[in-house]
Structure 1
Amino acid sequence: MTNDESSNLIDPSIFEYLKAHGEEELVVGDKLHQITATLNRHISTCQGLLSRIHSTPSSKLTPLLKHVDDDGIKPEIESVSELAQFTSNYPYYKYNGRWTRSIQNVVGTILITGWLGGLETESRPGEIGRLLTIEEVGQILKVPVNLKDKDAFHITIEEYILALTDITEELSRLAMNSVTMGDIDLTVRISGFIKDLFAGFQLLNLKNDIVRKRVDAVKYHVKKVEDVIYDLSLRNLIPKQEASS
């Protein structure tokens, strides 16, 4: 068999296909990088605004949370919408690893803002201590959640749980700073919330190693706040029944 005859055994369309799809992946990757870079900038802005909660008494949180909503969360929503629209043209599970951490951070900012009484609507009263469900987070972001029947952009259960572990860390820090600000009631509220949250985690059958490790770490946040409550109780700064709740 001559060289010409052996080369004819390879269909040129194979390499044309590989080239076309390789170039498509590069284009998709570049666009995803642009979208997620913008999203991450909005997340950083939102997290920066939220960092002010550690020096703001709960009685004065309302204007701060409005600022967070307008200048932090709304831009996040716009970027998530752009991401969802663009990725709807491609297989979700092929590319979702490129943005899942960013989405987790977005969900975290929404959860903590909502817990502090922000994001108030007719169906979501602005009250401290309310945990938004994954469905409510999806409604705020205007994207589906926990899709099982089709391959499309959505907020996953895993992203929601990981965001919950993030806010327990942030709230445990806030619990200590609230003592410094003289806001003992907020510290007690946080203690009860993260203990209930950790108890809820224990009911889950967690198979993902990353999620399981992050959930296990929540017990250290619980203990940190329990130590604060115990110290306050010893100093008779909170009623005994609140300390034990």
Structure 2
Amino acid sequence: MSGDTAMANNNAAPAPSPNVDPAIFSSLQAKIDKETAIRDELKEIVETLSKQGRVTQSILSRIHNTPTADLEESVLAPCSESLKEQAATVKSLAQAASKYPFYKWNSIWQREIQNVVSNVQMCEWLKSGSLVTLEEVGQRLHVPVNLQDEDAFHVTIEDYLLALTAMIEELARLAPNAVTLGDYARPLQISKFTKDVHAGFQLLNLKNDILRRRVDGLKYSVKKVEDVVYDLSLRGLIPKH
């Protein structure tokens, strides 16, 4: 065999293995490209929801330095309008996401959905002092909740409960700030509500580890509010009814 022939043989591409069809990898790449397109589609909507959520959260953060008498104008009215924008985006997300398997993609929007649910819960509490239900959350966001027999977008029970723990932590922050603003009735209202919610959580047999840890941590929020109420009591500032 001549040297030129030997060199040509050495540089030749390896013959395809009879056991590995290159089409397998072409098919996999097509699937990867499709999943990337789906992820990009959903992330674009979620990013819009995130931006809107930051606006809503900024509005709600005013509760810590706004007297109760001014909440309607300074917080509740603008918060309601901001939540309407978020609800429209959640509805768009639901329409897009429902074309695909829910639990394959829900990690993309889970955090933002929990944030908007928490905002809904907080806004309702500030208005009425009541806890908005999971079903009412679905009605306000115009999306299904807790779907059992359909693989489509929905707000899960875990999303609702995790959002509620975040709301309770925020209320625990509000209690001492309300005192600073001269509102001595608000901590009592917060204390009763947080205790009732914490007692409700104790009735649940939670399987989700993250949720269980968050619920375990609620006792610190409850105690924080209790300490504020106790201090008001010692100072003789508890409102008389």
TM value normalised by structure 2: 0.89
Aligned-residue CA RMSD (Å):
1.6
Aligned length in residues: 227
Q: 2:98 matched to 1:88?
A: yes
What letter corresponds to residue 110 of structure 1 in structure 2? V
Larger mean CA deviation between 53-62 and 138-147 belongs to 53-62
Deviations 1:173-202 (A, max 9, x none): 111111111111111100000011101111
CA distance in 1, matches of 2:19, 2:61: 64
Flag the structure with larger Rg: 2
Asked whether the equivalents of residues 184 and 239 of structure 2 are also in contact (C-alpha less than 8 Å), the reply is no
Give SS of 1:158's match. Answer: helix
Asked whether the equivalents of residues 185 and 239 of structure 2 are also in contact (C-alpha less than 8 Å), the reply is no
What is the match of residue 40 of structure 1?
50
Asked whether the equivalents of residues 143 and 154 of structure 1 are also in contact (C-alpha less than 8 Å), the reply is yes
Q: 2:120 matched to 1:106?
A: no
What is the match of residue 31 of structure 1?
41
What is the match of residue 136 of structure 1?
136
Amino-acid identity (%): 53
Larger mean CA deviation between 60-69 and 159-168 belongs to 60-69
CA distance in 2, matches of 1:226, 1:88: 44
What letter corresponds to residue 98 of structure 1 in structure 2? I
CA distance in 2, matches of 1:80, 1:12: 41
Asked whether the equivalents of residues 104 and 159 of structure 1 are also in contact (C-alpha less than 8 Å), the reply is yes
Q: 2:165 matched to 1:155?
A: no
What letter corresponds to residue 40 of structure 2 in structure 1? D
Following TM superposition, the consecutive aligned residue runs of length 4 or more in structure 1 with deviations greater than 4 angstroms are 6-13
Instruction: Tell me by how many angstroms 1:16 deviates.
Output: 4.0
What is the match of residue 9 of structure 2?
none
Deviations 1:25-50 (A, max 9, x none): 11111112211111110000000000
Structure 2 gap ranges (5+): 1-13
Deviations 1:183-240 (A, max 9, x none): 1111110000001110111110011110010001110000000001001111111158
What letter corresponds to residue 133 of structure 1 in structure 2? T
Give SS of 1:116's match. Answer: helix
What is the match of residue 218 of structure 1?
218
Q: Find the partner of 1:97 among 100, 107, 111.
A: 107
